[in-house]
Structure 1
Amino acid sequence: MNERSVRFEKKTLLAALSILTFGLTALFAVVGLEFLVPTTFVLGFFIVVPLVALLGDSLPMVETAVDGVEVERSDDFGEGPIDELRARYARGELTDEEFERRLERLLETEDAAASRTTERVFDRE
């Protein structure tokens, strides 16, 4: 039987451990288990979180680039319009002329958008 273990990004695991430590510390303080508050706080924030931050890549639950999983996420939520246009051309949905015409239009709009962004940056300074 081939079971797949749960893997997390290092940043996600650190965030989850930090939130869990803070939550347990607050819970113990509210419930009346004050003797567990310093223990939970020290174990979580001064031992577990730093150890995961330092040794996280060697832990089995942390995914790495070697695992074949891309760890870095891009800010784009999909392919850009030029990539989509190229894919449609490669599938044969567009003729040569139509591809060139649409590509030129996309490049013109990107250049115009980039110049407007540059102008706004210089206007703020």
Structure 2
Amino acid sequence: MNFPAELKYTKDHEWIRVEGDVAFVGITEFAQRELGDIVYVDINTVGSEVAEGDVFGTVEAVKTVSDLFMPVTGTILEVNAALDANPEMVNQSPYGDGWMVKIALDPALAEALLSADDYKALIGA
């Protein structure tokens, strides 16, 4: 399993890649494996400020629907529109083309999240 060191992680299996005062958010490789084949991503919170730990959307797999939790408080700037036609990109490239939202944030907030090593320990990898 892949755990990119440049990312931060949450106990809810989301990742965040901070680039200045914006960040990309998605679900981890572990999470997408647990969910199975993803068939739909539903995020309708563009323009909204979402608090850390609050639900910003859902991801639907063949057998289940799972909430997506915001890793840090931020304003959702953009949803990955490519997921509408190709939700399976979350399975194929969870840390790349399968990102879910782009947010505006205070970059310092991400410092409190898990490192790759901490996340690996959390899931027992």
TM-score, with normalisation over the residues of structure 2?
A: 0.23
Whichever structure has more helix as a proportion of its residues is 1
TM-score, with normalisation over the residues of structure 1?
A: 0.23
Larger radius of gyration: 1
Whichever structure has more strand as a proportion of its residues is 2
